[in-house]
Structures are given as structure tokens and as C-alpha cells.
Amino acid sequence: MTTRSADSVLSLCHKATVLGNKISIHMLEYLGTVEKHSHQFDELAHEFMDTSRIMWSLEAGLVEFTRTNQKLPAEMVSELEKKFRATHSDFQVLDSMLGRYLDYEKKGTVGRLQKGWRNMFSHNDVDKMRENLEKTREALRMSALVFQWSLGDTKVDESVGIGYTGLAAALEHMSGSRSAVNLAKAKSVRAKTEVTHQVHAVETMPQLPPLPYMSNSRSSAADHSSLPGRESSVPGREPSLPGRERSLPGRELSMAGRESSLHGREDGHHSNPNKLLPEIQREPSISGYTIHTDSSHGAGRDRRMSIADNSDRPIPMAHNSLDSHGRTESDTLIEEMETLEPFKVIRFKADPLSQPRWTPRNSLGADNAQLKDSLLAAVESRNHKMVEQLLDRGVSPNLGPHTHILNQAISRHDVESIRLLLLFGADVNAADSRGTTPLYLAVEESFLEGVNMLLKYGADPNLTAGHEGETPLSAAVVGDKFALARLLLAYGGDVSRVMAEGDTLLMTAIKQKRLKRIIDLLLDYGSDANTKNNRGHTPLFEAIQSQRIEVVASLLDHRANPNLPGPKHMLWPAAPMPRMLELLLARGADARKAPGVMELATSENNIESVRVLLKAGVDPNAKKDGIYTPLCSSIRDDRADIFDLLLANGADPNVPSAEYPAFKCVTHYRTQYLAPLVAVGADLNSPKGILETAVQCYNIEALIWLLDTGKVSPNDKVPKTGATPLTTAIRENRPDLVDLLLSRGADPNIRGENWPVCMAVKQPAILKRLLPALAEPRAFKGVMEMAVVANQLESVKLLIKAGVSVEDRNGGVFSPLTTAIREERKDIAHYLLEEAGADPNSPGEHLPIVKALRRIHGADTEVVELLLRHGADPNKMYRGHNGYFQAIENGDADVLGLLARSFPPNLDARDDAGTTLLQVASSRGWEEGRQILLATGTGAGNAAAPAPSVTPPR
């Protein structure tokens, strides 16, 4: 025996003994609940203990053999595996039976009535169970002797669990002198504080009972009158196809592969030629009869079963398992599932081979197209007798996707036709031409009984169907069909399957707002509450988005992580929902992992959410995105209630958001909040600039309030820009604010982003207010030129009146006159020359006449003539240049003549390169200009030159 084989056998043995210990506890509970139990049950309990005693011996022996590295023959290992599997199966059936009995007792009178009805048709389950255990015990006995001889009883009894010990003591007490089992070491149930063997696996329910057989109400007992030796004792019922009597789950006899025999002639001919098909005559069902082997037929494939009639139990094949109300055993099972606790997980393992099967008597109709059409017509018309006859003649129930007989029956909810088709081998997983499988169609039709039948015959609850590739389980979930979803899950429906759009079933159910019990069902069957979809969303996130607090609670109960981003922290979407927030925080959501959730709740204007967060200890100063604070957001949104709540709970009035709370009051015109902020410690001088902000926002109310407090200086500067309230008022052209600030102590001699007077030249009205407050206006060099640049003649006049020099140069270079010429401010140039007395020959960045010649446009010589009239000399040199050199550069004979008529050109003048006027004109090839210079010029340069041949232009 290899180590792997030894471990496998030991595992099977241990699995059975653990289950046996559990059964002992249930049996002990039942004995303590029922006042009077039957003698048969007492015998069953003793038989169970005897069987368990043998299992202890085997387990202890296998443990010892494994420990000492002893080996068993391979044949013995194989035999033990078979026996242990059979024992475990018997124990499962017994545990199921005990669970059912306990449920009946817990239901009280109603349960005992249900138990009575079931016992009427159960054919003594207890006796059958006892017989099965007796056979199992006998099969195990010889194997157990091997280990008992080598170990003795002491080691065997050391492995006995508390359940076994308690049951043994109870049986011994009930039987008086009789000992239930000879335990070498009696163990007290009270002294045992821990169960030796614990059941870790998910508690499983017993295998579903066999499919019930439904009768055709239109049939009569005469339909099968030719069946020999078999007459129904129930009037009006026909003994149709074979069924199975109700028996213990897992112990039914299968009809699969059984050969049918014809009663009568083997060639299938019938004496009545008027019938479409010969009368169906076959061997009676196994149910209700005794099976024995006909030795005359030998062994192997030729062996046939002959059945002796048991006339005192006439159970017609199509009617077995019916209770007094006409319900089938399948109906009863589904009802029992409905009565289970909502969160009790049950699992069934489909065993198609254990379901009834029937082989057609011949294959005459297999290739007959007419009979195939007749089968379809029979199903469509619900002619069950015809369906049965055609199938028995060999017509296949699988006619292909375009003639899907089973789907036809399902769409009509025809239970009897479905049963017949399944009995004769219909493929439960074959799809029709639309890709629809029988199980998927049954789910779409909400056909619970059809779904139950198909699952028993092996229908796959996870097989995709339809154009969208959904599974039957997903269709049931999306359709809010709880009973169907539960049944499909019990038969192995995959809760983890990802649907076409990338969502799990759980996610789909939540997003589509399916029933909570559907969602609970998926969770109970193992759906992961933390699995994300292809967009990174978690089920918890979707539930919060859907505002379903009951689903959120259920997800949290099933280990959903409230701190798992999906895609964001769960507190973010829950921020506007106070009860949701309260639940998440109570269940472990960490607000530190969602900094700013308080601000979000404030932005949502939800004071209840803010209260919940504050109660949970969330910091009222925590910033969202590292910027926004709850306090500033409450000011922004003008929520006085939230504002007061935050201050009362420790919100800091000096913690900035995008701006400080006091500044927020100014910029959003919430002056009413300034006083409460100051009352709790807001610092109006940190940072500086709140007055400047009030001026910039033109918030006169806040400006006055701040000035009235006396806590803020009207001359404070903004740290970054250096702006003062006064300079900002000037820049924004707010004369009223300038007056207010000046009256409240603003100093116009303090520089802000610029000097106030230099800024005021752009607004003469403000300059007029400002000049009287200046100690010395002339101290601000260049202010006159700035007024010219600003094109404010009125400001120029005000400055002249205030004593500022007309020649005041900006930067020591730019004079008011040259700037007026450069900027083409003709009105200011006229004023400067005609009224203010500006010197036309005083250079700025250049001589005024040179600047004027450079600004000539076309024939417009107004400024040149103005300068010449006021004494501008074009011969005056400045920086190696004068008016005549500029006129020659312009090449305009009229302008050159205009200058020559006013001031004759000095032909001896030289530029910074030492070149004379004539040389410049000659080098440019401008003969006309040269002649004008010669005709009007003076100096030594003219004496050597010939007389002009042209008259200068006028």
C-alpha cells in the first residue's frame, strides 16, 4: 500500500466516522425530543452503533498501520475504499432522514402531520435503513477483525467521539441491562467539553428524490388491459411507464441500461391492424415488485430480470409518489426547500444515472419521418399516450435543433411529456436553433417543476444559451426568480461566472436592483463580495450607488471590505447618505483612507452626514484633495447650520482651503460669518491682505466691517503682489473706495504694486482726489510722462497745476513732449507747447523735431510745423543727428523744403560718422534734395559748390 493510497483510504474512513459522530448527536437529539419512539427506531440506533464500532476499529487500525509504515495488499485497499464509500453513503442517507424527522418535531403539530403523511408512503424507511446498515456492518466485519487482533479494543475506543459516547450511554440507559456497545472506556458527555471530530465541510442535503410520474387524466385503466398478471387497484389510472416507489434518497434502484422485454411475440406484430401502433406491453416497473434472477438465461448481457407480482402493493407506474392531495414527491421537496431558513445553504449532486430510463422495445420508428412528425404533433397536442407509444417504437426524442421536442414540451409546461422524453433519453443540454437549452427555456418560462426535472437528469446550470450567452442561473437572477435561482445554485450553479458585460452575477443583481433575497442567496452560495468588474467597481460600491442600505448591510455581513477602493473608497459615494455612512463607519470603514469625506458631505449640503462623521471622530479640518476644507465649503455654500456645527466641533478658523475662511467670507460676500470666525480665534492679519481682497471684490460691507474692527491696517500689503487697498482701488477705478480709504487712514505716499499717484494718472478723477493728500507730487519722477502715455490730458493739466515740471522725464530719458509725439498725442503736444511752455528743442529719448519727422504719415506735417512755429531748430545736433539728416533719410523733398524755409540748413554739420548733409544726399543719389540743400544752405560747404539750378519748392 503506497503512502498516497493509505492516506486516501484513511481519509475516506475518517470522513465516515466524523459523519457518524454527527449522526449520533442528531439521533441523541431526536431521542430527547420525541416522547415515544418506535421499536424500529431503537433497533436502527443499535444497528448504527454496531456499524460505527467497526468503523472505529478500522480507523484506529489504519492510523496505526500508517504510523508504523506497514503495508496492506492492493486488493484489500481497493476493497476498503469501496466499503468506506458505501458506508459514507448510508450514513448520509441516515443523517438526512434524522434531519427531516427533527424538522418535523420542531414544527410541532403541523410537522407531525406532515411526517404522518410521508410515513403513509415511505414504506418503512427506518426498517430499510436498518437493513442497509446491517449489510454494511457484515461487509465491514471481516476487515475490522484484522485490526482488532493487532490493536485490541483499548486503542479503538480512544478515538470515539462525544456524539458516539453520548448515544451509547442513552441507549444503554433506555435498554436497561442491555449494553448498546461494549465500550472499554466509558466517556461522560458532560465531562467532554470539546467534540473530538468536527464537521468542517458545508452541510449537505440528501440527494433529491426520483422524478415523480404524472398521470394522464384522460387515460383509462383499459389502455393496458393486456398486461398479464397486473391490475391496478386505483380506478381510472393506467399503469404506464415504470417509475420508482419512494425510497430513501441515494438507495433507489436505477432503470438505466435495463433491457425491456416484450410480452407476446418478439416481432412486434399485433393482431389488431386498425391501430397505428401496436399496444405497448412491457414488463412491470421495479417499484412495488420483487426482483429475482432467471437462471435459465445464463449470465452476462443475456440475463433478464423477471418480476414477481406483489399484489398487495399495486403502485401504478405513472402514479407513484403521489400524496393524498395529488402532489408529487418533487413538489414536496420543493416545498421543503421553501421552508428552509433563508440563509441555509443546501447542495445537491445530480446523478442522471440514478434517474429512471427506458429503452424502446424496438427501433422501427427511428428513421421514419412520418412518425417523427407525429411525435411533434403529439407533444404539441399534449397527447401523452401517443407520445409514449411513439417513443417506445424507437422515435428519438432528440430530433435536432430545428425540431426540439423537449423545448416544445417545456414551452407548454407539459410535465408529463417532459417526463416521457427524459425517460427515453432526451438530451437535457442540447440547444435549439436559437441556441436555447431546455434548462434556460424552463427558467425563462419560470417553470419550476420543469427546472427540477431537468436538473435531476443532468442539465447544466452553467451552460450558456441564447444570443447573449447567458446561463440559466444568470437568467433566474436577472429575472428575480428566487426559487429557480436557489434550485440552480443547489445543483451547482456557478456564482462566480463573469457575464458578457464584465460583471459578476452578484454585480448584475445589485446594479439591476434585484430582490435582496436574490443577492443574499448569491452571497450565501459563495459569491465574492469583493470581486471587481472590468471597470474596477466592487459590489459594495454599486450597492451604495444604488442607495440600497439593506444590500450594503448584507454585503458587509459577507465580508465585503469597506476600505477596498472600488474604484474609490466606499465613504465617498456614501457621503450624501447619512445612514449609509453610519453603517459603513460602524462596520470598519476608515475615514483616514478617505480624507476629505467631511468636505464632500458639506458640499452635498447634508448636515446629517456631517453629524455622523463628526460623531465617528472624523477630523473637521481634513482637506479634500489636499485643498478644500469643510468650514470653507460651508461658507461658500452659505450653510449657517453646518458652519455653526463645524465650529462647535473644533473646526479651525485659521486652516486655509483654497483661501482662508475669513477671506472666503469676503470673496463670497458672507460678511455675517466674519464675526463668529473672529470670536473663535480667526486671525485677520495672517495672512495680510484681507482689506485689499475686500476692495478687489468690491465688498463694501466687509471693507467697512474690517475697518471698523480696528484690527486691520488700511495700508497692509498683499504678500505676493505688494498691492495695498488704495492701489487696488485706484487700479479698479473705484473713486468711492479711494475716498473711503483715504478717510480711514490710507496713506497715498505708501507704494503698493506701484506708487498711487503714478497709477492714478490713468483716472483723472482719482488723481484729483489723491494730489491734495500728497506731501510733494514733484517727488514722483516721471509722473507727467506717465500721464502722457496714459493719454490723459486732464491728468497732465492736474499735474501741471500741482507744480510738476513739464520737462519731468521718466527714467531721466523720456520727456513728456517726445512721448506725446511718439505716441501721437497731438492734443497733449499742443497743450505742452502752447500752454505748458515745453521746450521744443529739449531732447527726450531724441530731439522733438527728429521724433516728429520719424512719425510723419503721408503729407501730415502738423506736429513738425507746430514744433517749427515754437522754435524747434532742425540744425541742432543730438547724438550725431539732427532734423536735416532725418529729412534726408526720409527722402521727402516737401518736408526738406519746409525745414529749409524755416531754418537754412548748416552744410558744415556732420553726423556721428563725420559725413555732411550734401555727402549723405549724394551717397543716396538724391539729386533733388542735394539741389535744395545747395540752394538754401549756409556754411563753407556751400561756397565750393556750384549754384543751384532749381528753385526750392515752397
Domain-by-domain residue ranges, the chain? 3-175
Beta strands in 214-356 (DSSP E): 290-293, 305-308
HSE on the CB side for 161, CA within 13 Å?
A: 24
Place of cell 458532560: 190
User: Nearest to residue 475, comparing CAs of 449, 512, 530?
Assistant: 512
Handedness of CA 195, 201, 203, 204 (dihedral sign): negative
> How is residue 218 written as a grid cell?
384522460
Name every residue whose Cβ is closer than 8 Å to that of residue 844 and which is 6 or more positions away in sequence: 809, 813, 814, 815, 816, 817, 818, 819, 851
Report CA Rg, the chain.
54
Are residues 357 and 258 in contact, defined by beta-carbon separation less than 8 angstroms?
Answer: yes
Cα separation, 797 vs 693, in Å, equals 33
Over the stretch 714-747, which tens digit does the pLDDT of each residue have?
999 999 999 999 999 999 999 999 999 999 999 9
Residue 307 — φ and ψ, nearest 5°?
A: -125, 125
pTM score, two decimals? 0.57
Cα separation, 896 vs 932, in Å, equals 8
The three-class DSSP label of residue 262 is: strand
User: 567: cis peptide before it, omega within 30°?
Assistant: yes
**How buried is residue 943: exposed, middle or buried, by Cβ count under 10 Å (0-12/13-18/19+)?**
exposed
Query: 70: alpha, beta or left, given left = phi > 0 and alpha = psi -120 to 50?
Result: beta
Q: What is the mean pLDDT of the chain?
A: 79
Residue type at 586 in one-letter notation:
A
Q: Residue 307's beta-bridge partner residues?
A: 291
- Model pLDDT, residue 226: 32
Under-50 pLDDT residues of the chain: 1, 117, 120-123, 149, 154, 177-330, 332, 339, 341, 942-954
User: If you count them, how many residues does the chain have?
Assistant: 954
Residue type at 174 in one-letter notation:
M
Are residues 378 and 387 in contact, defined by beta-carbon separation less than 8 angstroms?
Answer: yes
> How is residue 333 written as a grid cell?
421537496
Give the distance, in angstroms, between the CA of residue 807 and the centroid of all CA atoms in the same chain: 77
Are residues 818 and 843 in contact, defined by beta-carbon separation less than 8 angstroms?
Answer: yes
Over the stretch 389-410, which tens digit does the pLDDT of each residue have?
899 888 989 888 888 899 999 9
132-to-94, 286, 522 alpha-carbon distances in Å: 10, 19, 37
Cα separation, 489 vs 393, in Å, equals 37
Q: Residue 810's beta-bridge partner residues?
A: 814
> How is residue 607 written as a grid cell?
448636515
In terms of DSSP H, where are the helices of 525-560? 539-545, 549-557
- Model pLDDT, residue 70: 76
The three-class DSSP label of residue 465 is: strand
Cα separation, 8 vs 206, in Å, equals 24
The three-class DSSP label of residue 118 is: helix
The three-class DSSP label of residue 866 is: helix
Cα separation, 485 vs 494, in Å, equals 11
Are residues 539 and 531 in contact, defined by beta-carbon separation less than 8 angstroms?
Answer: yes
DSSP for 756-823 reads HHHHHTT-HHHHHHHGGG-S-GGGSTTHHHHHHHTT-HHHHHHHHHTT--TT--BTTTB-HHHHHHHT
SS3 labels along 181-235? CCCCCCCCCCCCCCCCCCCCCCCCCCCCCCCCCCCCCCCCHHHHCCCCCCCCCCC
- Model pLDDT, residue 191: 34
> Most distant CA pair in the chain: distance in Å?
168
